[in-house]
Structure 1
């Protein structure tokens, strides 16, 4: 059997492959899916990929499977590790951080102002895949940014540096970093003017750098040799898919609960009234990643947040043996019920951290209402993707019962509708949209069900 495109999603705990055909027709087809545990710990992620392809063949009932193109996304081996360095935290640092997160980065260190020796030591320990340097509005501050470039140039790391700061000193920054042996990418300023974000160019370059240079997971270089199309960070691919959907159906929020993290993507400009009282700007497309809220790798943390006794009471079994014997892909009734409890908690905490809120400020003229953070009050659609929400029968119920009684939080309205990425293909569609945008949109719309 031959298919048009095979898309591999190499996650922290599970590798999924999706098969698609008839992509050049008005009715593209999702043929099926295979999955297997990711094999980072075995020293080669291609083992898990081949196992997932074998599972796909079994699901399709075929002995042989070939494809015209293979695309891939990855969040294996800790995902796309980044450090972000800017000038003022609420301005350039925030803009750079939003750009990195939206592209699929996992932010391990953020600095504002001058980079110091202690920061360099921490960066060395983190060993990031990409360093993002920003700072200053265009034609504004120069000295601190140039000093930061000098500091980063001293790092004994073979890591690409993206500069997205004051454009007046682009050439100076490039020369300093290249003299330090760094591969440098220059992009438009993420914060060119006061209260103006310009993060899309940086997001694109981060994904480009990931595709060209990131092969850190064991066997990932083999994956690059196998694929014909682009490779993207999985969260960045989900964001691409969310933005494609937003252009067609309007304001939305996507929740992706995984084995290691829980990501929230929102694409909405929010309410005009709220925008007028915002303390600082927010991007239309925003992603937050909660590295402590995974239902497998970080299950213990979620259990502690809920309370072990509460979880055992709801499950009706003791947790210790269950946790010791559980697998990345749950099989038993108890394992599935545990994942359901953890997913519910992960969703609520992640949304709570993602959403903005109203605040009261007091000054000489009395109390003034202001807003801070992401405004979700115009969200029409709450979408669930990822292994947990798409495979649990309770996925729609979990999203439909988001806690919405948290005071001044700028949460989605009660009439926002829940959709589940039934075929579990959003990340695949994000990467596939680079080559087949119309087919990707049609396939996603087919997949979206209550």
Structure 2
């Protein structure tokens, strides 16, 4: 990889190789500030008959070059570097989820402890976890071995035991993997990569268990003590092996690796990186979501018990808007989908629409009725994915929490979710049904209905899904990534102020006073109401909210809130519908 000085980078070409489309953006330094200037896309060419991902990359780069009047690809198909006048770029970077992304099998001793930590490390690195096998997962050894043989992961991540703890059970897990001899998904001419991130005292015995069919890498324990996680070494090793083994054997990826100036990253890992950078730079808690055709990814960065930001990512593999739409309706229930449909639609019509979507999963809505149906399903997919995320993003299980006399009878042994909607500052949406909604208000309402933010929350969307590009850019030029993220990536929808608590419809919920540019409003909100006031992007307003007793808008139950908020394309949203929105939630 080239040695790069950020001061010498003025023109950046970035691509994201998705499963169907390769998306490219051009970022240029204009008047001392980095801006995204042009974008292009082309079909991904990882499958036969082309079987070379770089063909799609070059096609997307040529499209950008034509739009920008800049020659980016030379006659030999190479990316021209460095930039000279109207030729070339200073750096080329890429992310990838083509070919199904990064798929990992996770093993551990205790499912809720060491295995859960290993799963967090894998998900944080941008992987899809195919299965989690543990000593206490209630499967018999022969069933676990059969499951390992059935899967074709890109790599295996092993955890188990705190440092100085159990050795026997860790070795037993290795003795399950060794005879199963899992086969890698790509290529049959290399050994299965296995990362061991468990009890350091067991590393030697684990190594003795495997033969030459496995390439073993030993890193620091992901759970060195019950009350502490150490995920970074395992995540870094996953990225390294992703390049060395997985991508090196996928069609054309060896050429993509040679083409890029810095290591190629898995797309979800890059999205997680940029969200962490934003949370750190602004000192906020944030949640991001990417809803696709087959899966929904949820990312969160929240302050942990020690005040340090904690990053979590989950993949809801059966919650999507095309290939997984029937799973969404089955898991949510038809009644829950229908509650979001305003026009008359019975369950039979809803089922027919689901069946039509299953027959033609890649179609997009052509009528208002079809759009309303898809947005109703999207609300449930997002709600369920967020529910799963909150159940996963917890404090460490197995750790006795310090308690007071007041909670003697309600003690829990860890596992409380660190995702708190009242502490959520920024909610970012991406994915077709959210990013390409015809009206900004529709995106905002899907976020409010599905995530139910409480108190004061900024809403935004990544309209062209540029977060992966910026995530990998942040590793080499954080300033450029942050500037483009703030100015060109996010479309600010506005700020919601939502009341936590419930009350009888029509009863007073809170009073409000809004003061901003060309905006002076005072009034009262009743339970069940929702109002929108215009406040343009870049503008701010001073807001005072006076809730009734028992209602919390961010300052505590019944306490007045005074805050300055930012506007957006939708504006200020006052939500007095109460939380939770529905008893079943």
TM range (shorter): 0.7 to 0.9
Task: Give the corresponding residue for 1:21.
Answer: 28
Select the residue among 395, 406, 410 that pairs with 1:368.
Answer: 410
- Note closer, same or farther for the CA distance 1:327–1:148 as it changes in structure 2 (3 Å cut): closer
Q: Which structure's CA Rg is the greater one?
A: 2
Q: Secondary structure of 2:482's match?
A: helix
Task: Give the corresponding residue for 2:300.
Answer: 266
Matched, 1:399 2:447: yes
Select the residue among 122, 144, 147 that pairs with 1:100.
Answer: 122
Matched, 1:231 2:264: yes
Scaled by the length of structure 1, the TM-score of the pair is: 0.82
Q: CA deviation at 1:89?
A: 1.5
**Greater RCO, CA 8 A, separation 6+:** 1
Structure 2: gaps (5+ residues): 1-8, 74-87, 184-190, 396-406, 494-585
How far apart, in 2, do the equivalents of 1:285 and 1:102 lie? 8
Task: Give the corresponding residue for 2:95.
Answer: 73
Select the residue among 359, 384, 387 that pairs with 1:349.
Answer: 384
The one-character-per-residue Cα deviations of 1:250-297 (angstroms, maximum 9, x if unpaired) are 11111111222101111112578xx9xxxxxx9811111100112233
- Note closer, same or farther for the CA distance 1:41–1:150 as it changes in structure 2 (3 Å cut): same
How far apart, in 1, do the equivalents of 2:434 and 2:67 lie? 21
- Note closer, same or farther for the CA distance 1:59–1:307 as it changes in structure 2 (3 Å cut): farther
* Contact 2:151–2:182, Cα closer than 8 Å, also in 1: no
Q: Secondary structure of 1:161's match?
A: strand
| Superposed CA RMSD | 3.5
- Note closer, same or farther for the CA distance 1:307–1:33 as it changes in structure 2 (3 Å cut): farther
Task: Give the corresponding residue for 1:409.
Answer: none
Q: CA deviation at 1:121?
A: 2.4
Q: CA deviation at 1:30?
A: 0.8
How far apart, in 1, do the equivalents of 2:58 and 2:359 lie? 27
* Contact 1:188–1:202, Cα closer than 8 Å, also in 2: yes
Task: Give the corresponding residue for 1:384.
Answer: 429
- Note closer, same or farther for the CA distance 1:372–1:16 as it changes in structure 2 (3 Å cut): same
Task: Give the corresponding residue for 2:458.
Answer: 417
Q: Secondary structure of 2:427's match?
A: strand
How far apart, in 1, do the equivalents of 2:54 and 2:329 lie? 32
Comparing 132-141 and 296-305, the one that deviates more: 296-305
Q: Secondary structure of 1:415's match?
A: strand
* Contact 2:380–2:450, Cα closer than 8 Å, also in 1: no
* Contact 1:135–1:165, Cα closer than 8 Å, also in 2: yes
Scaled by the length of structure 2, the TM-score of the pair is: 0.65
Q: CA deviation at 1:81?
A: 0.9
Q: Secondary structure of 1:384's match?
A: strand
Structure having the larger proportion of residues in helix: 1
Select the residue among 31, 37, 43 that pairs with 2:37.
Answer: 31
Q: CA deviation at 1:338?
A: 5.4
